[in-house]
Amino acid sequence: MPLFAQIMQTDFAQTEGINVELQATLERKADFLKKVLVAQPYTLHLEIQSKNDSRMLMCMAIYYALLREKYKYELPVKQFMLYVGKEKMTMKAQDIDF
């Protein structure tokens, strides 16, 4: 690890191991999913939210990863979340570029 620490310019004097096995069973059903057939086709993913969910960015990232894996990077994925709730939206919104 000394070489890696030097390259990363980080002190790894105190570290703790983490289990390297990442196993999860995920099942997701997108609200709206279409292949958009234009000059540069893409996969359109739309989620409709009626309540604030602090985990929404992570949920969208999971959808993105699942779509890219399922369709083997066939098309770019464009995602949008439409908030239709009555309360003021408090969810973080940002573009994630993978």
Burial of 22 per CB tally in 10 Å (0-12, 13-18, 19+): exposed
pLDDT score recorded for residue 52: 95
Give the residue numbers spanning the domain of 59.
18-98
* Number of separate domains in the chain: 1
CB-CB contact of 91 with 83 (8 Å): yes
Has residue 26 been placed in a domain? Answer: yes
Q: pLDDT tens across 68-84, in order?
A: 998 888 899 999 999 99
Closest Cα to residue 47, out of 79, 87, 86? 79
Chunked mean pLDDT (size 10), the chain, 98 residues: 77 81 87 95 95 92 92 90 94 67
CB-CB contact of 46 with 31 (8 Å): yes
Q: pTM for this one?
A: 0.73
Has residue 12 been placed in a domain? Answer: no
